[in-house]
Amino acid sequence: MFLSVSMMESDNNLQDVLRCHLCDTPIPQLYCDLCQINLCASCVGVHILDRCDSKKHNVRPMTEKWYPNPVCSKHSARQCDLYCNTCHSSICTLCVISGEHDMHKKVEIFQAFQNTLDDLVKNIYPRHQKVLEDIKDRINKLKQQGAKLTDDLNNHGKALHREIDKLIWDKQCEIDDKVHKQLAFMENEEVNITIRIDEIKKTIQELGHHVKSREVQLVSQYTKRISIFNNLSIIPEVSLPRFSAGEINKEQLEKQFGTLTYSFDPFIMVHQNIQKFTNINEGMDMDIYKYMDIDIDLRKLFMDQSIEAMYM
């Protein structure tokens, strides 16, 4: 089973290998730019000396393989050798001869691509990296400032709570003092009246006994005592202060607590910047390959390699 799987994998790998277009020899070492075919060492001579073909072949090693320039959109029989920076389009020599691009800035097409790459590596990419670092730095500062702002707010809140607690404590002490004095007076009156009631009970018992024994000689003594019992003092009314809660004015309380002030509105500025950037992008086609009209194979050549490797 393993042998059959290995053989199938080997066959697939052989099918993926580049081959000579003329003799099917695997891994050819040469490439013809004009005909865009791979050639082995044995077939290159035949290909170049083919008398039926009047074209001038340009054969180079596979390692120096070049991709063809894009076909001109106005002259299909011509390849584009130049790039017009003014029109953002690839042009051929006939486009130049026509005079359409006389006053325009033109460069060799590969140089335009290289200039774009250089601009990305030297300018655009570093600027974006700098912006990213600046954003990260601002995020850290924003977190620190937010934490400090929260601490200041909480500390001020604690200070305000301490003042309110002190105010409550003072009022509570005043209430406790009033209650304590009133309670002391009433408790003293309670003791006095309890003592008198006990004396009255004792007098009732004694007087009842004397009535039964008809000891009338003692009547004056108890009459005088009863007159004392009738002299009952009036218990004064006790009262505590009333608490009149003041109206809580939220607006006034917020002013007394403190407010948050901004030198500018950051959200409006960010929105304006985003809108400005959006408006700019709406008038631009961000696909640089569309502007340069580069062949799909040429895109792969540059896109498959890292920026660092290309710039070295």
Lowest mean pLDDT among 17-31, 168-182, 206-220, 291-305: 291-305
Mean predicted confidence (pLDDT) in 133-140: 93
Beta pairing partners, 108: 82
Residue 51: its pLDDT value, please? Answer: 55
Ranges of each domain in the chain: 11-66, 67-104+262-312, 118-236+255-260
Assigned token pair, 143: 């977190």
- Residue 198 in tokens: 């006990």
Q: Among 141, 150, 83, which residue's Cα sits nearest to residue 113?
A: 83
User: Can you tell me the mean pLDDT for 288-293?
Assistant: 39
State residue 293's pLDDT score.
Answer: 40
Residue in 243, 236, 238 with CA at minimum distance from that of residue 181: 238
d(CA 82, CA 100): 13
Query: Average pLDDT, whole number, for the chain?
Result: 76
pLDDT digits (tens, 9 = 90+) for 138-196: 999 999 999 999 999 999 999 989 999 999 999 999 999 999 988 998 888 889 889 88
How large is the average pLDDT for residues 44-73? 76
CA-to-CA distance for 127 and 120, rounded, in angstroms?
9
Asked whether the predicted pLDDT for residue 10 surpasses 90, the reply is no
pLDDT above 50: residue 297:
no
Cα four-point dihedral sign 276, 278, 280, 286? positive
pLDDT score at 173: 93
pLDDT tens, position by position, 254-275: 888 888 777 665 555 555 555 5
Which has more pLDDT, 88 or 269? 88
Per-residue pLDDT at 129:
93
Alpha-carbon distance of 279 to 271, in angstroms, equals 12
pLDDT tens digits, residue range 193-249? 898 889 888 888 877 777 777 766 666 677 777 777 777 777 777 788 888 888 888
The pLDDT of residue 301 is above 60: no
Tell me the torsion sign for CA atoms 266, 272, 274, 276.
negative
For the segment 26-45, the average pLDDT, to the nearest whole number, is 87
Lowest mean pLDDT among 19-28, 108-117, 208-217, 245-254: 208-217
pLDDT at 286: 41
Lowest-pLDDT choice from 12-21, 111-120, 168-177, 240-249: 12-21
